[in-house]
């Protein structure tokens, strides 16, 4: 039987550049002691108090169907959190609860794009972005953010592709680069979106992991509330990656129609997970800061370890749980360097090419192991780079 072109074309038959990650996992399965600095998974589990709340909600009967667009108590808490963090008035009617940020990406592109439309996104990008766009029948078009600009997108690079496009997807603080988009960058992007009637889809799942500067949600910029869809999640802020709980914030009409999509796809999110999410959000910003603290500390540790040498150069790590390293001085691609590091030192990092071509010659280090093991791994990475340039 013939499968649809849409589903067989999601990844276009490739590995999405994650061969090093898959190989590192196989080596671990074979018994080798691999230091995994690849994916953005916390090295702590979900806090016991949240798990207890989830368990209690299960025993209390929150195991049946839930409202497909999200329980009102959770939508109220998300709206309050967004209002307090951004200063932009937000109501429950602006909130759709979704099973994680990935479902938010899918829903927002369904809302913004028709079959065959062009959907723009910034390169480097989170690995699922182009496949998500293809999965809704749209055509993904990457706009490179250049290393010489420290991966701050240049609105002048976006403008020539905006005419006729339907949406633009951005992510700040950014995965994989750790860059926090400046107000000037976001104002330039907002101007292009308004000029060309683009939906701006803003992936803000790392908004609590900010080490430098100010997080600016583009929904708060003049005139942008009506054409911005914001994706949020508890995965990073509360170490709840496996719970699959997040939200989309946007204009009421868009949220209503995405609620219809939820009815015909996810059929809602488990009620006991939503109750646990309410409990988690009630823990407040102090709890979120506690979850973020190890990544700030480890970011500072990595930057200190890189001082006094010029072979491996860090991209300014403004936020998120990663540091992007420029290893072009070695003469290797990011993929070749990552494979060499894995083979010789049993350290797994992600090649920059896994996230598009703009980060070629870079590697991404996830700050997701304890400080001592991280320091040892970074030392091995630097030694390999210096040996390659000797």
What pLDDT, in 10s, does the model give residues 254-291?
A: 999 999 999 999 999 999 999 999 999 999 999 999 99
Q: What is the pTM of this model?
A: 0.96
Sheet order of strands, 167-171 included: 95-98, 246-249, 228-233, 199-203, 167-171, 118-123, 139-144
- DSSP, residue by residue, 49-76: HHHHHHHHHHHTTTTS---TT--HHHHH
Q: What is the pLDDT averaged over residues 205-214?
A: 96
pLDDT of residue 14: 59
Give the domain ranges of the chain: 5-45+286-389, 64-283
DSSP 323: E
Q: How confident is the model at residue 207 (pLDDT cuts 50, 70, 90)?
A: very high
In this predicted model, what pLDDT tens digit does every residue of 1-33 receive, in sequence order?
999 999 999 988 655 567 899 999 999 999 999
Across the chain, mean pLDDT equals: 96
Same fold? 5-45+286-389, 64-283: no
pLDDT value at residue 16: 59
Tokens coding 204: 């803000």
- Residue 293, pLDDT > 60, answer yes
Q: Which fold has domain 64-283?
A: 3.40.640
pLDDT at 18: 79
Architecture of domain 5-45+286-389: Alpha-Beta Complex (3.90)
Q: What is the pLDDT of residue 390?
A: 78
- 205: tokens are 């799942």
pLDDT at 345 over 80: yes
Farthest CA pair distance, the chain: 65
């Amino acid at each position: 039987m013939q499968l649809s072109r849409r589903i067989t074309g999601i990844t276009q038959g490739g590995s999405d550049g994650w061969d090093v990650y898959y190989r590192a996992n196989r080596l671990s399965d074979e018994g080798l002691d691999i230091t995994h600095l690849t994916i953005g998974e916390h090295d702590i589990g979900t806090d016991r108090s949240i798990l207890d709340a989830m368990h209690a909600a299960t025993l209390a009967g929150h195991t049946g169907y839930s409202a497909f667009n999200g329980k009102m108590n959770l939508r109220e808490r998300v709206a309050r959190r967004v209002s307090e963090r951004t200063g932009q008035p937000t109501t429950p009617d602006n909130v759709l609860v979704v099973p994680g940020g990935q479902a938010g990406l899918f829903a927002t592109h369904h809302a913004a794009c028709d079959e065959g439309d062009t959907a723009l996104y910034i390169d480097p990008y989170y690995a699922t972005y182009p496949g998500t766009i293809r999965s809704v029948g749209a055509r993904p078009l990457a706009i490179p953010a250049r290393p010489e600009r420290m991966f701050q997108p240049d609105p002048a690079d976006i403008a020539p592709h905006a005419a006729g496009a339907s949406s633009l997807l951005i992510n700040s603080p950014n995965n994989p680069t750790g860059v926090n988009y400046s107000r000037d960058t976001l104002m330039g992007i907002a101007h292009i979106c308004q000029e060309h009637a683009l939906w701006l889809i803003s992936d803000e799942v790392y908004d609590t992991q900010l080490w430098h500067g100010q997080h600016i949600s583009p929904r708060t910029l003049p005139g942008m509330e009506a054409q911005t869809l914001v994706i949020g999640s508890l995965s990073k802020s509360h170490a709840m990656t496996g719970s699959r709980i997040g939200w989309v914030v946007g204009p009421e009409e868009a949220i209503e129609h995405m609620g219809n999509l939820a009815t015909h796809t996810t059929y809602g999110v488990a009620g006991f997970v939503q109750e646990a999410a309410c409990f988690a959000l009630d823990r407040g910003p102090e709890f979120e800061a506690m979850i973020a603290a190890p990544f700030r500390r480890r970011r500072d540790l990595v930057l200190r370890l890189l001082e006094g040498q010029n072979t491996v150069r860090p991209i300014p790590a403004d936020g998120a749980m990663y540091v992007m390293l420029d290893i072009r001085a070695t003469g290797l691609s990011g993929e070749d360097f990552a494979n060499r590091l894995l083979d010789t030192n049993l350290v797994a990092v992600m090649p920059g090419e896994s996230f598009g071509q703009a980060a070629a010659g870079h590697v991404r280090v996830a700050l997701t192991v304890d400080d001592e093991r991280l320091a040892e791994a970074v030392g091995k990475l630097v030694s390999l780079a210096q040996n390659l340039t000797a």
